[in-house]
């Protein structure tokens, strides 16, 4: 479960251009912009939360469903 969560965070950071790859003749560098990574992960998580919330909470169905309680 933790692997999937970390994978999702990494994917959101990559999509948000939080990583920069630079290389020269002698070395390779992977530069991580912390503020951009935090912003892209936060924005992505909020978007995913809103999508899931909209899927599960359909206001039209809650208006038409009634609860009837009867004592027998």
**pLDDT tier at 64 (50, 70, 90 boundaries)?**
low
Average pLDDT, the chain: 79
Phi and psi dihedrals of 20, rounded to 5?
A: -135, 130
> Is 42 among the domain residues?
yes
> Is 72 among the domain residues?
no
Q: Please tell me what DSSP assigns to residue 18.
A: -
Cα torsion through 31, 4, 1, 48, rounded to 10? 110
**Structural domain count of the chain:** 1
> Is 15 among the domain residues?
yes
Higher pLDDT, 17 or 69: 17
Dig out the tokens for 20 from the structure.
């920069």
On whether the pTM is more than 0.85, the answer is no
**pLDDT tier at 18 (50, 70, 90 boundaries)?**
confident
> Is 18 among the domain residues?
yes
> Is 17 among the domain residues?
yes
Containing structural domain, residue 10: 2-57
Q: CA-CA distance, 8 to 32, in Å (whole number)?
A: 16
């Amino acid at each position: 479960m933790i692997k999937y969560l970390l994978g999702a965070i990494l994917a959101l950071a990559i999509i948000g251009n939080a990583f920069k790859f630079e290389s020269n003749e002698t070395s390779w560098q992977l530069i991580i912009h912390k503020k951009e990574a935090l912003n892209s992960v936060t924005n992505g998580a909020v978007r995913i939360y809103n999508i899931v919330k909209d899927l599960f909470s359909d206001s039209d169905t809650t208006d038409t469903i009634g609860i009837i309680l009867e004592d027998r």
